[in-house]
């Protein structure tokens, strides 16, 4: 450990508090992934990739988009994505993290305010940290708190643009943002509404276009990740054309990154078409969600209607022990601890996907009941 004493001490401290992270192989029934529609390993996407390879689409891009890395597959994806999401433009990034960081580091200007929901993704925090605007936090899903924060900022002398950053469906709690009310607030305040649709894209909306679909678009920017329900990789920022143009010219994460694989762009384009035409995929998922909530509700799973079912246990060590016991029983359920979630809210994040059967869900509930009896109090 010579030369790395500080790092070793830090890891030891994490281990002592039950917070050390380790990579775990994927085994057992999938109650952990974000592959909600089961597309990641589907024959439909495999066929699309094979067809793209057959027509000569390259695997690597060879450079940034502004050098030689721009490929017709990138532009075809962006055109189709803009049409699918009902937006003027789209820009493809290699990951949701990169897209979120670029968005918030680039668009808000000095003198502006970024007002963010307390539970937004870590990537949003990274972008805000790199940006030039002032940042303030609002209580989770509390539109009144957002309004009060804007009023307070104005009283303090703030005169710039307000940017409201939220998720449409929160990744650890599985609850949905009050988007219509937030959109109305943004309109009243002349603000820009930034909606991260990571966990809603492909599932919610008329054809899986997301929960923000149908909101007024003049002051709306949405981020759609491609590595969750779409089963691929990367992310799309959609909005007015000037947003795309500004990111191409000023977004360092876009300018100085090797372009995403053209082959993956072709796969995402195929995924959008599959999702748009496959109500059966969403219907199958919703049936599984309903069954899971009925089976797991008595064990303390939080109320709600989405595919993310948190079971808050509170204690870090106990949470990981129960997750380990489930994994040993053939159920891939992961424990989530601080700092990913607030202190005292360690939880099992049970994710419902089309990769599991109704029998898998029933078996999970049965096994979990032996570890957490229905009469046991669950941490608030």
Instruction: Let me know whether 232 and 133 are in one domain.
Output: yes
Q: Domains in the chain: how many in total?
A: 2
pLDDT, tens digit, 9 for 90 and up, residues 90-139: 999 999 999 999 999 999 999 999 999 999 999 999 999 999 999 999 99
User: 221 pLDDT exceeds 50?
Assistant: yes
338 C-beta neighbours (distance < 10 Å), count: 13
Instruction: Let me know whether 31 and 138 are in one domain.
Output: no
User: 1 pLDDT exceeds 70?
Assistant: no
User: 184 pLDDT exceeds 60?
Assistant: yes
199 is catalytic: yes
Mean pLDDT of 8-14: 90
Structural domain of 311? 19-37+279-371
pLDDT at 377: 45
Instruction: Let me know whether 297 and 253 are in one domain.
Output: no
Q: Where are the beta strands (DSSP E) in 54-126?
A: 89-93, 113-117
> Out of 73, 112, 117, 196, which one is annotated catalytic?
196
Instruction: Let me know whether 250 and 290 are in one domain.
Output: no
25 is catalytic: no
Residue 377 lies in a domain: no
Residue 10 lies in a domain: no
Instruction: Let me know whether 33 and 48 are in one domain.
Output: no
> Out of 30, 78, 112, 167, which one is annotated catalytic?
167
Boundary (domain end) residue, out of 233, 256, 276: 276
Q: Share the mean pLDDT of the chain.
A: 94
Instruction: Let me know whether 103 and 183 are in one domain.
Output: yes
Among residues 149, 143, 209, the alpha carbon closest in space to that of 177 is found at 143
> Out of 78, 89, 189, 199, which one is annotated catalytic?
199
Residue 157 lies in a domain: yes
pLDDT, tens digit, 9 for 90 and up, residues 321-359: 999 999 999 999 999 999 889 999 999 999 999 999 999
pLDDT at 373: 66
Instruction: Let me know whether 178 and 62 are in one domain.
Output: yes
305 is catalytic: no
Residue 306 lies in a domain: yes
Instruction: Let me know whether 259 and 283 are in one domain.
Output: no
171 is catalytic: yes
Boundary (domain end) residue, out of 255, 276, 297: 276
159, 190 in Cβ contact below 8 A? no
Instruction: Let me know whether 250 and 364 are in one domain.
Output: no
> Out of 94, 171, 351, 354, which one is annotated catalytic?
171
**What is the C-alpha separation between 31 and 355, in angstroms, rounded?**
8
Instruction: Let me know whether 51 and 194 are in one domain.
Output: yes
**CATH number of the CATH domain containing 32:** 3.90.1150.10
**What is the C-alpha separation between 305 and 200, in angstroms, rounded?**
12
- Write down the pTM of the prediction: 0.93
pLDDT band at 376 (very low <50, low <70, confident <90, very high): low
> Out of 175, 197, 228, 261, which one is annotated catalytic?
228
**CATH number of the CATH domain containing 123:** 3.40.640.10
Instruction: Let me know whether 271 and 318 are in one domain.
Output: no
> Out of 30, 34, 123, 332, which one is annotated catalytic?
34
Question: By mean pLDDT, which of 2-16, 251-265, 270-284 is the weakest?
Answer: 2-16
Report how far apart the first and last C-alpha atoms of the chain are (Å, whole number): 40
Among residues 116, 249, 246, the alpha carbon closest in space to that of 194 is found at 116
Instruction: Please report, for residues 115, 136, 161, 177, 195, the alpha-carbon distance to residue 148 in angstroms, rounded to integers and kept in the order given.
Output: 11, 11, 16, 17, 20
Instruction: Let me know whether 241 and 316 are in one domain.
Output: no
pLDDT, tens digit, 9 for 90 and up, residues 51-72: 999 999 999 999 999 999 999 9
| Residue with the larger pLDDT of the pair 332 and 16 | 332
Residue 112 lies in a domain: yes
pLDDT at 375: 41
Longest CA pairwise span in the chain (Å): 62
196 is catalytic: yes
pLDDT at 20: 85
> Out of 42, 74, 100, 121, which one is annotated catalytic?
121
């Amino acid at each position: 450990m010579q030369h790395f004493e500080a790092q070793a001490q830090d890891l030891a401290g994490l281990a002592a508090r039950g917070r050390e992270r380790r990579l775990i192989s994927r085994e057992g029934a999938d109650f952990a992934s974000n592959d909600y529609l089961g597309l990641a390993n589907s024959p439909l996407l495999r066929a699309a990739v094979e067809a793209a390879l057959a027509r000569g689409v390259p695997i690597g891009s060879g450079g940034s988009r502004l050098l030689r890395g721009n490929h017709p597959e990138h532009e075809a994806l962006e055109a189709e994505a803009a049409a699918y999401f009902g937006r003027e433009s789209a820009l493809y990034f290699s990951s949701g993290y990169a897209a979120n960081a670029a968005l918030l580091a680039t668009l808000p200007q000095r003198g502006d305010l970024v007002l963010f929901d307390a539970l937004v993704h870590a990537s949003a925090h990274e972008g805000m940290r790199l940006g030039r605007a002032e940042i303030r936090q609002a209580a989770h899903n509390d539109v009144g708190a957002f309004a009060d924060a804007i009023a307070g900022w104005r009283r303090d002398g703030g005169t710039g643009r307000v940017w409201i950053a939220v998720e449409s469906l929160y990744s650890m709690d599985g609850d949905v943002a009050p988007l219509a009310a937030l959109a109305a607030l943004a309109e009243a305040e002349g603000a820009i509404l930034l909606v991260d649709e990571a966990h809603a894209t492909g599932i919610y909306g008329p054809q899986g276009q997301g929960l923000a679909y149908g909101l007024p678009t003049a002051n709306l920017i949405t981020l759609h990740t491609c590595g969750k329900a779409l089963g691929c990789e990367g992310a799309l920022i959609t909005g007015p054309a000037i947003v795309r143009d500004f990111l191409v010219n000023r977004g360092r994460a876009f300018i100085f990154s090797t372009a995403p694989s053209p082959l993956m762009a072709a796969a995402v384009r195929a995924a959008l078409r599959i999702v748009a035409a496959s109500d059966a995929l969403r219907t199958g998922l919703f049936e599984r969600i309903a069954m899971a909530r009925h089976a797991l509700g008595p064990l303390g799973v939080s109320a709600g209607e989405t595919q993310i079912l948190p079971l808050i246990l509170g204690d870090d060590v106990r949470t990981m022990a129960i997750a380990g016991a489930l994994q040993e029983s053939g159920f891939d359920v992961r424990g989530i601890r601080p700092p990913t979630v607030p202190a005292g809210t360690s939880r099992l994040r049970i994710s419902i996907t089309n990769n599991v059967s109704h029998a898998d869900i029933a078996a999970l509930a049965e096994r979990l009941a032996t570890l957490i009896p229905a009469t046991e109090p669950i941490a608030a």
